[in-house]
Amino acid sequence: MPVRILVHYTVNENSSRENYNVLANTTFDRERAKALSDSAEAHWQAILDRNIVCFGQTMRAGFEAQVAMFPNMMNDRVAGLLDQYRNFAIGWKLSSAGGGGYLILVCEKPVPGSIRVIARRETD
Amino acid sequence: MSTTVGPNRWIGSLPKIGIRPTIDGRRKGVRESLEEQTMSMARAVAELLTMNVRHPNGQSVECVIADTTIGGVAEAAACAEKFARAGVGLSITVTPCWCYGSETMDMDPLIPKAVWGFNGTERPGAVYLAAVLAAHNQKGLPAFSIYGQDVQDGGDQHIPEDVREKLLRFARAGLAVATLRGKSYLSFGAVSMGIAGSIMDNNFFESYLGMRVETVDMTEFLRRIEECIYAPEEFNHALSWVKENCKEGREYNPPEKQRSRAQKDRDWETVVKMAMIARDVMNGNPRLAELGFGEEALGRNAILSGFQGQRQWTDYKPNGDFLEAILNTSFDWNGHRQPYLVATENDSLNGTCMLFGHLLTNTAQIFADVRTYWSPAAVKRVTGHELSGRASDGIIHLINSGACTLDATGWHEIDGRPAIKPWWEVTPDEAQKCFEATTWHPAMTEYFRGGGYSSTFLTRGNMPVTMSRLNLVKGLGPVLQLAEGWTVDLPEEVHRQLNERTNPTWPTHWFAPKLTGQGAFRDVYSVMANWGANHGALSYGHIGSDLISLASMLHIPVCMHNVPEEKIFRPSAWGAFGASDYTGADYRACANFGPLYG
């Protein structure tokens, strides 16, 4: 299955607001930390297994674990963007989202307006 | 009728109904004079069935008519060949005249058979009917006899109401028999808490239903979850849809036994994956092949499944209630669709009744614990309320999460009254109301240590329903029992008081069986006392007559029912086993003919 990892530039409009702090409302506890840790472990395992579905799904799980700790990473615009891709993306993650960043999508089909990332091994 | 048709999710084509126009074979006058009338009968029956009988996916049944009228063995053989090629699963022989019984009869031992002999006097259709049924009985090939109450004129092409009713009943039941054949019961896990119905009896499924039993260990769910063997895009969509449409209900667990919010969120993810995986194991999913899981993509051709759950799974992982409830329902995140049948606690015998009900009505089914008989006196003592109306003789509390369809909320409507409709008739608004009427409560962790969610709702009253149950008895074999009755409404406070005496996180249906004043239907207590197991399956409508016909086709006796005698329709041979004692004759006939598939 040809799989694309696509990046979609987005802006967290909250970041332009005065006094916006992405770290506000942060909640750390053992359970949330474990969820993030577990998803990272599973994500790494998916890479080792070359299992693209688990790669995407654990990426999503990791992102959601981050949001559980840092709720200000999310806003309606980002949620709306995700809703657009939910039905055909395998997984996703908002990267560098403190003040805008990239929505990384793992999916089979090209997403208009996105940049396709091609990963090659050194020997390629 | 709506034109909505869903995919045929089972392997192979859907069974067709074969129409066999038989005729007096004497040429040079007799035969020629009857050709048109005989073929017209066949065409009229085909039209009646095509217009009124559907497969569970919504597709109208297809009828195949013999290429010629059948006047003798050669044409009977040609017809048999045509039917075999076309995938005919049941046959109806029609004739307005005398024909040669054993030379024209359907000899296929495995398909249900009926004969309609035209009640006219110009030619002796009824004489042929009697003659050919004698041949059927003599050869051990039971056939249903259809003969109109009133004499018709020779050219009358109208199908009288009583004949029409019998043709449709035979077609619905026969189609169910034909649809079962070759499909699988899929057992997820093994025996649940010592429940007898989950002790798989492969011989029953093979010999009586023509089905096979597939067993898949519950670790398959773990493997597919851990290795992401499901459609990820669908999961993303499904989880979002569930969060929007499945309202989480009140937490009934004491604080020290509650699962954390993070655990509950993970449980939602797990139960949605479980539902998708169960469905994929049952009937496959082409998306899995695209993902590189060709074997898993095929499924197991299951028409019915059961999920053990308790206890090895539920002590460790979220329970199967969501999986069972959503699959048994006529709609989910993909829109409306034919329900998948899943029995809770892997109770294959209750599941079989769900399957019978589904195939006869094309509706979603209710699986319930037959929990408590509430006498009028007991209700009065506990609540102060005097039961009245259909509930006046007492009620049975049916309750269980898991395999109860959400369609059972009663928020479909027919003529303004609560109903459960075939999935293709359910409107988006009705589906939405069913979800609005349902809350999903965190599972009681004293029962379900691994968490999960149980559906909760109260079924609206005044729905005609039929409860049935199949039991296996050593030395006797399978036995069916059924009770037609009604769901009833109780005043809200009375319901609350009675319901909260037991697990309040499950759906409740208050059931009042129809009483006859005799035997097991002497009173409501006797219905409860004669029920053969802890579970019952409910279908919308009073379908006892259809169930009795279906059971007779499968040679399964019915030990208890409240269907009037005049509505009982079984093969003609049954009369020879005691025409004045229908129940006893049923047992003797079923024992005599043995399991349909040997």
Task: Supply the range of the domain harboring residue B259.
Answer: 184-593
Answer whether A59 touches B (CB < 8 Å): no
pLDDT at B1 (0 to 100): 42
**What letter would DSSP give residue B70?**
B
Q: If we measure between CA atoms, which residue out of B270, B302, B266, B310 comes closest to residue B284?
A: B302
Asked if the model's pLDDT at residue B463 lies above 80, the reply is yes
Q: What is the distance between the alpha carbons of residues B487 and B538, in angstroms, rounded to a whole number?
A: 10
Does one domain contain both B148 and B242?
no
Asked if the model's pLDDT at residue B243 lies above 90, the reply is yes
Does one domain contain both B284 and B306?
yes
- Strand, coil or helix: A90: strand
Nearest neighbour of B232 by CB, restricted to A32, A68, A90: A90
pLDDT at B2 (0 to 100): 47
Asked if the model's pLDDT at residue B352 lies above 60, the reply is yes
What is the tens place of the pLDDT at every residue in B487-546?
999 999 999 999 988 878 889 999 999 999 999 999 999 999 999 999 999 999 999 999
ipTM of the complex: 0.83
Between helix A52-69 and helix B232-245 the angle, nearest 10°, is 30
pLDDT at B264 (0 to 100): 95
| pLDDT band per the 50, 70, 90 thresholds, residue A114 | confident
Does one domain contain both B190 and B110?
no
Does one domain contain both B205 and B169?
no
Does one domain contain both B384 and B499?
yes
Query: Looking at residues B111-130, what average pLDDT do you find?
Result: 90
pLDDT at B153 (0 to 100): 86
Asked if the model's pLDDT at residue B172 lies above 50, the reply is yes
What is the tens place of the pLDDT at every residue in B365-403?
999 999 999 999 999 999 999 999 999 999 999 998 778
Q: Structurally, how many domains does chain B consist of?
A: 2
Does one domain contain both B200 and B175?
no
pLDDT at A122 (0 to 100): 67
Asked if the model's pLDDT at residue A5 lies above 60, the reply is yes
Q: What is the distance between the alpha carbons of residues B74 and B579, in angstroms, rounded to a whole number?
A: 36
What is the tens place of the pLDDT at every residue in B248-264?
999 999 999 999 998 99
Residue A115's beta-bridge partner residues? A7
Does one domain contain both B146 and B216?
no
Query: Is B3 a member of any domain?
Result: no
Distance from the Cα of residue B99 to its chain's centroid = 37
Query: Is B88 a member of any domain?
Result: yes
Does one domain contain both B304 and B412?
yes
What b/e string do you get for B158-193 counting C-beta neighbours within 10 Å, with b at 16 or more? ebeeebbebbebbbbbbbbbbbbbbbbbbbbbebbe
pLDDT at A13 (0 to 100): 59
Does one domain contain both B96 and B194?
no
What percentage of chain B has pLDDT greater than the value 90?
Answer: 94
Closest chain A residue to the Cα of B238, Cα to Cα: A87
- Mark which residues 422-451 of B lie under 8 Å from A by CB: none
Query: Looking at residues A96-120, what average pLDDT do you find?
Result: 75
DSSP string, B492-555: HHHHHHHHTTS-TTS-EEEEEEPP-SSGGGSSHHHHHHT--SSEEEEEES--HHHHHHHHHHTT
- CATH classification at residue B354: 3.20.14.10
Q: Strand ranges (DSSP E) for B8-78?
A: 16-21, 63-65
Q: Which domains does chain A have, with CATH numbers?
A: 4-117 (3.30.70.890)
- CATH classification at residue B94: 3.40.50.1070
Answer whether A31 touches B (CB < 8 Å): yes
Q: What is the distance between the alpha carbons of residues B41 and B23, in angstroms, rounded to a whole number?
A: 11
Final residue belonging to a domain, choices B180, B205, B230: B180
Query: Is B11 a member of any domain?
Result: no
Does one domain contain both B171 and B193?
no
What is the tens place of the pLDDT at every residue in A13-68?
555 566 677 788 898 899 999 999 999 999 999 999 989 999 999 999 999 999 99
Asked if the model's pLDDT at residue A107 lies above 90, the reply is no
Answer whether B386 touches A (CB < 8 Å): no
Residue B145: C-alpha distances to residues A120, B563, B592 (Å): 74, 19, 19
Q: What is the distance between the alpha carbons of residues B458 and B467, in angstroms, rounded to a whole number?
A: 17
What is the tens place of the pLDDT at every residue in B190-211?
999 999 999 999 999 999 999 9
Closest chain B residue to the Cα of A3, Cα to Cα: B291
Final residue belonging to a domain, choices B180, B196, B212: B180
Q: Are A7 and A102 in contact (CB under 8 A)?
A: yes
